[in-house]
Chain A
Amino acid sequence: MMQLPIEWLLVIVVGLLIALLVMTVYMMIGRARENRRQVVTTAYLERNQEDWYDYLCVDGIPREELIPKNTAELKALEELFRSLVHNIKSEEIDKRISAFANRCLGNFYRDALRKGNWGERVNALSRIRDFGIDSLAKECREMLARKTVSKEEFFLLLLIDMKFNPETFSERHIGNLDKLSSKDTKELLFSMSDLLFDQIVETIDHLPARTQYAVVDVIGMKLNASRSDKLEQLFSSSDNELRIRILRAFNLLERLPADEVLIAAIESDRWQERLQAARLFHLLPAHSAVEYSKILADDEHYLIREEIRRYLAQPAFEVQVDNEAVSSLRE
């Protein structure tokens, strides 16, 4: 009969239980420390409330007392800057935050970027971008050149590089956009200055399909109708997905495309194109809208029929066209 290693198992179980109990005590101490840190953080903010107001909103002269002396005060400062950057739009405040952050937080985030913990590195990158810490631009570019960065880090590093080196961003990174998710590509393109974005729009024909989709989406999101000619030009593409997105961009821009584009969309085999076209009808003169609605009123797809029905149900519509035509369509 096999001898059971009871003693060994007993040692393992007791050892693990003791280790867990020690960790419990450690966690409890950690919680108590965290509570103390909260007290220090609150005290720092309360103590320096007026001086911060003076620095950020009045004279821009940083007092020595404002410089954080420990991690708890540094965290307090981080919170303060974060809430200002996310909630107040003021170039002057942003400049002062950037000046103070470059002076007092630069080393802290430099250390964080070198840490092995992914979460801390991502936090540091977000803050470098939010607080405009350009003294770390070089470190960030070096990091971007590494192949080991995660997707989140890569995206934030691109945002940082775009913020600190916008002149050469397009030529250096145009080929990198395909590595991002479509959401990240759109966010990056949307954050671009108009000048930089126009450079990208000009090169759209040479971009991979996924990036083209994002560029078209962002043209709509930016609500700047000056790029609608480019959209019309792109509509000749055989890529159905691109055509659907172009029509959606026209919808966002609240702008009618050229007649041939609209008619091509109404007659498209793809229901998504027909739906986007139907959503543009409210921009047409009422009589043209009725004519086009006749084509789509009995469409095979229920969403298109629904769209037409909703459009025709608008009370303002009835005034503009003869009731008979509308009534027959409604039926």
Chain B
Amino acid sequence: MMPFIETAMQVFAYLIIGYMAIVIISYSIMFVLSFQTLRKERSLDRREMDSRFVDAFYSKPVTILVPAYNEESGVVATIHSLLNLDYPQTELIIIDDGSKDGTAAAVIKQFDMTVSEKSGNPTLSTKPILGIYRSNVHPNLWLIKKENGGKGDALNVGINYARYSYFCTIDGDSILDGNSLLRVMKPVIASDGKVIAAGGNVRIVNGLDVEYGTVSEMKLSGRPFVVMQIVEYLRAFLMGRIALSKYNLVLIISGAFSVFSKKHVIQAGGYNVTTIGEDMEMVVKLQRMLKENKLDGRIEFVADPVCWTEAPQTLSVLRKQRRRWHQGLLESLWAHRKMTFNPKYGAVGMISVPYFWIVECLGPLIELAGYMYIIAAFFVGGIYYEYSVFLILLFVLYGTVFSMGAVLLESWSLGTYPKISALFRMMLLTLTEVIWYRPLTLIWRVEGLFRSMLRISSWGEMERVGATDSKGAVK
């Protein structure tokens, strides 16, 4: 082989190995930090805490915002679950963002709604509102119909009409456990408002028994494809976010389930209506605002409140979702690139933003290059076998070992899936992750990266199956 190509192959191999070493060290630190937090809280009887926070005198009222676009199949179950929350004072606003299906009609019919007036304070500019409805059965349930403007715009409408100082965002296809809102609000209440945003744990609902918006039986989905997504969520939420939250370094709390201080969100200018990942962009914007205005605020992730969401069931839908997520990530980081390695933004600028750039954003590109290197090295042979074996081992360490660790951590601390067989199946599947699931998601994320650079912007609609039918019964 030509000396130039040899040198290039070697440099490239060391580059990938160096990158993998950084990622593995970062993940190991996060794993240890998450383990410490979960060990501390593992034996805690959370019911005691719940009972102390459930009293209306001590809690803070919350407006729940549900932006819905073509969510006809799942929105009714979501509303049922939200009406069943163990929380003393809530107002529930469904924002129909110009759906083309029967989302609004389903809600109006199911909850006996009529045209009504609602006072608001339109601080954030939004697309025009087409109508406001109120339920005759549940007076705290509202529906706002508006022209299509995207999720961020729908949330801004909700903020304008929210009655309370805190609002909670829930996706139109998600279901909350009864005590989830109480638990996600706990750090906000306990900190006397210093926590300005908090996000809960998001889990996958596919395969579970759901009745009238409540998960009635914990079962693991029969589809390996869905199980791998469950493992992926566990890894992302239990490992990454717990550790980052410990030091106020959180840059993402899922838009599927999070609470915010309305005052701070308005101060930050509301949701960005042009970005794809409006949830991440909002959190980065809040962190930036806190540092720039020298405010003493925190953004936290809370592990035990759970929001159940529907995961893609086909490869094409998953591809669109991952592509979109990665585009959102890059757009948010790019919009706030000023924060990168900027000591003015403290640990967020020096640790968190660089971590998201290097590991989360550019990582897939390097990792995918690593996979291609392995394949190429086997063809080239010679010394490159050694590099490729080394890389394979790093991939196993990075992919399989951490995924298995996350599954065990969840099972040990929270134990969502009580059956032994479920744990066994998850562990078995994680062993196969590096050979099929990981490369696939890497390709899609890299695709998202390029689409973002080429400024190709589309939401990529996900065809919903709906956890329940329109009456909320099990499908």
> Which residues of A are at the interface with B, using a C-beta cutoff of 8 A?
1-2, 4, 6, 9-10, 12-13, 16-17, 20-21, 23-24, 27-28, 31-32, 86, 117-120, 122-123, 126, 151, 181-184, 186-187, 190, 217, 221, 302-303, 306
> How many angstroms from the CA of A310 to the CA of B55 in the assembled complex?
27
Residues of B contacting A123 in the complex (Cβ-Cβ under 8 angstroms): 43-45, 48
- Give the residue name and chain of the B residue nearest to A125 (CB): B48
* Cβ contact within 8 Å between B192 and A181: yes
* A/B interface sample: 21 pairs, CB < 8 A: A4-B387, A6-B393, A9-B390, A13-B397, A13-B401, A23-B408, A24-B408, A24-B427, A27-B412, A28-B420, A31-B418, A117-B40, A119-B40, A119-B44, A122-B48, A123-B48, A151-B190, A181-B190, A183-B192, A187-B58, A190-B57
* Cβ contact within 8 Å between A20 and B119: no
The main secondary structure of chain A at its interface with chain B is helix
B191 within 8 A of A: yes
B83 within 8 A of A: no
* Cβ contact within 8 Å between A24 and B192: no
B189 within 8 A of A: yes
* Cβ contact within 8 Å between A20 and B405: yes
Interface residues in B112-147 by Cβ distance below 8 A to A read 119-121
Residues of B contacting A182 in the complex (Cβ-Cβ under 8 angstroms): 192
- Give the residue name and chain of the B residue nearest to A115 (CB): B43
- Give the residue name and chain of the A residue nearest to B58 (CB): A183
B344 within 8 A of A: no
* Cβ contact within 8 Å between B423 and A28: yes
- Give the residue name and chain of the A residue nearest to B119 (CB): A306
* Cβ contact within 8 Å between B192 and A126: no
A1-B10, A27-B408, A181-B191 are contacts. A186–B58 as well, Cβ < 8 Å? Answer: yes
> How many angstroms from the CA of A117 to the CA of B411 in the assembled complex?
19
Residues of A contacting B121 in the complex (Cβ-Cβ under 8 angstroms): 302
Q: A13-B397, A183-B58 are in contact. List 19 more A-B contacts (CB 8 A).
A: A1-B383, A2-B14, A6-B390, A13-B401, A20-B404, A21-B427, A24-B423, A27-B423, A86-B51, A117-B42, A118-B41, A122-B48, A123-B45, A181-B189, A183-B53, A217-B57, A221-B57, A302-B119, A302-B120
> How many angstroms from the CA of A122 to the CA of B41 in the assembled complex?
10
- Give the residue name and chain of the B residue nearest to A21 (CB): B427
> How many angstroms from the CA of A33 to the CA of B119 in the assembled complex?
56
* Cβ contact within 8 Å between B44 and A122: yes
> How many angstroms from the CA of A57 to the CA of B431 in the assembled complex?
57
Residues of B contacting A28 in the complex (Cβ-Cβ under 8 angstroms): 420, 423-424
B394 within 8 A of A: yes
Q: Out of B41, B396, B401, B408, which one reaches A119, CB within 8 Å?
A: B41
Taking the closest CB of chain A, its distance from the CB of B407, in whole angstroms, is 9
Residues of A contacting B90 in the complex (Cβ-Cβ under 8 angstroms): none
Most chain B beta-carbon neighbours within 10 Å: one of A4, A118, A123, A217: A4
* Cβ contact within 8 Å between B42 and A119: yes
B375 within 8 A of A: no
